[in-house]
Amino acid sequence: MKILFITASRIGDGVLSMGLLDHIVRTYPDAKVTIACGPLAMSLFEGYPLLERIIPLQKQKRHKHWAKLWTQIVGTRWDMVVDLRNSAVSRLILAGQRHVFGNHINKSAHKIEQNAAVMELANVPAPKLWFTAAQEEAAKVLISEGAPVLAVGPTANWLAKTWPAGRFIEVVEWMRSDSGPIPGARVAVFGAPGEEAAAREVLLSVPEGFGIDVIARCDPGTAAAVIARCGFYFGNDSGLMHCAAAAGVKTLGLFGPSYPGVYRPWGDMAAYVATPESFDELIDYEGYSAGSAPCLMEGLSVEMVIEGLDELHNKKP
């Protein structure tokens, strides 16, 4: 059985689509799956057990990337196409079954529930991560055996939804204090290329010998494998937050100008805290521009985050 799976360009959306890939593994264990996704997300899918091929979807002007994808897949007769991008490509190839994201999907539901609706699944499959041997080996090098590890994601792809670094530092100090949930923990700090400054500020606050530098050091798939070896994660709404939740790590997401109803971390061991103001309220000011918006997370206090972390720490599987 040959399956074409067209998914996201962004890391978070890519992770949230992995519940469907797990459903495919369990339902069609002999299938061969071709995954089309953005280049940044490719490493997340490299360990998928049914993977036959990954096709990078590098965005081009006038939607030429879709035409390029079509030329690579039109010669195959697909048994199933799952298209989470609602592209014309999935309608212009031979396929036995088509599951395409469209106007019939409830956009206010959580993204994972939206994805399940694409395949008309009664049970919503949770995301799952698979790693290559190389990714797991690299993760072992960074996270060796020893004291428990707190993973921290103090950055995001948009300044407006990035909680101040100084507040991350306060919470990290509490987390690893004698009265905190993880006394004496090592601290792994993550950040993507271009986000180094804020992430390094947090890393440098950790006592010498207890900090683990995962700032712009590896691809997203390897970063996810590193997070999977940690005991706890908290950070801004980001792709790595979704990686942590998918790996089964206790995860607290910090939300402000984004929609937790759609993008909260998913799982029994995941939770979120948010600013008192909604996304729409936060951006409702004269002169708002997404490109120039400052941090809009000031309403989320250190105390609110500590309370959320404490509740999550005491939660039983």
Give the DSSP letter of residue 63: G
- CA distance linking residue 86 with residue 103, whole number of Å: 9
Mean pLDDT across 3-26: 97
Q: What is the pLDDT of residue 146?
A: 87
Mean pLDDT across 68-85: 97
Verify that 96 and 15 share a domain, yes or no.
yes
Task: Count the domains in the chain.
Answer: 2
Mean pLDDT across 294-307: 98
- CA distance linking residue 72 with residue 53, whole number of Å: 11
- CA distance linking residue 1 with residue 50, whole number of Å: 11
Q: Which tokens hold the place of 39?
A: 């280049």
Verify that 283 and 176 share a domain, yes or no.
yes
In this structure, is residue 127 part of a structural domain?
no
Q: What is the pLDDT of residue 145?
A: 87
**Domain endpoint, select from 84, 118, 152:** 118
Dump pLDDT digits (tens) for 204-222.
999 999 999 999 999 999 9
Mean pLDDT across 27-37: 98
Q: Which amino acid is at 165?
A: A
Dump pLDDT digits (tens) for 259-288.
999 999 999 999 999 999 999 999 999 999
Q: Which amino acid is at 99?
A: H
Q: What is the pLDDT of residue 65?
A: 94
Q: Which tokens hold the place of 91?
A: 């309608």
316: pLDDT confidence band, cut at 50, 70 and 90?
A: confident
Mean pLDDT across 192-203: 95
**Domain endpoint, select from 118, 142, 171:** 118
62: pLDDT confidence band, cut at 50, 70 and 90?
A: confident
Q: What is the pLDDT of residue 111?
A: 98
Could you tell me the residue range of the domain that residue 256 belongs to? Answer: 133-313
Verify that 188 and 147 share a domain, yes or no.
yes
Verify that 257 and 215 share a domain, yes or no.
yes
In this structure, is residue 284 part of a structural domain?
yes
Q: Which tokens hold the place of 131?
A: 């790693």
What pTM value is reported for the model?
0.96
Are 310 and 181 in contact by the 8 Å Cβ rule? The answer is yes
16: pLDDT confidence band, cut at 50, 70 and 90?
A: very high
In this structure, is residue 101 part of a structural domain?
yes
Mean per-residue pLDDT of the chain: 96
148: pLDDT confidence band, cut at 50, 70 and 90?
A: very high
- CA distance linking residue 84 with residue 100, whole number of Å: 6
In this structure, is residue 53 part of a structural domain?
yes
Dump pLDDT digits (tens) for 130-143.
999 999 999 999 99
In this structure, is residue 231 part of a structural domain?
yes
What percent of the chain lies above the pLDDT cut of 90?
96
pLDDT at 63 over 90: no
pLDDT at 317 over 90: no
Verify that 113 and 139 share a domain, yes or no.
no
Q: What is the pLDDT of residue 309?
A: 97
Selection from 245, 21, 232 nearest residue 130 by Cα: 21
In this structure, is residue 123 part of a structural domain?
no
Helix (H, G, I), strand (E, B) or coil at 32: strand
Verify that 238 and 101 share a domain, yes or no.
no
CATH of the domain at 280: 3.40.50.2000
In this structure, is residue 124 part of a structural domain?
no
Verify that 150 and 23 share a domain, yes or no.
no
Q: What is the pLDDT of residue 235?
A: 98
Verify that 146 and 250 share a domain, yes or no.
yes
Dihedral sign (CA 41, 44, 46, 52): negative
- Backbone dihedral angles phi then psi of residue 99, each to the nearest 5 degrees: -125, 105
**Domain endpoint, select from 76, 91, 118:** 118
- Backbone dihedral angles phi then psi of residue 10, each to the nearest 5 degrees: -85, 150
Q: Which tokens hold the place of 269?
A: 């061991």
Verify that 14 and 102 share a domain, yes or no.
yes
Selection from 232, 227, 198, 228 nearest residue 309 by Cα: 232
Verify that 150 and 280 share a domain, yes or no.
yes
Mean pLDDT across 115-141: 97
Verify that 293 and 183 share a domain, yes or no.
yes
Selection from 20, 25, 33 nearest residue 127 by Cα: 20
Dihedral sign (CA 276, 278, 283, 284): negative
- Backbone dihedral angles phi then psi of residue 230, each to the nearest 5 degrees: -95, 165
Verify that 295 and 182 share a domain, yes or no.
yes
Mean pLDDT across 56-67: 90
- CA distance linking residue 298 with residue 301, whole number of Å: 7
In this structure, is residue 163 part of a structural domain?
yes
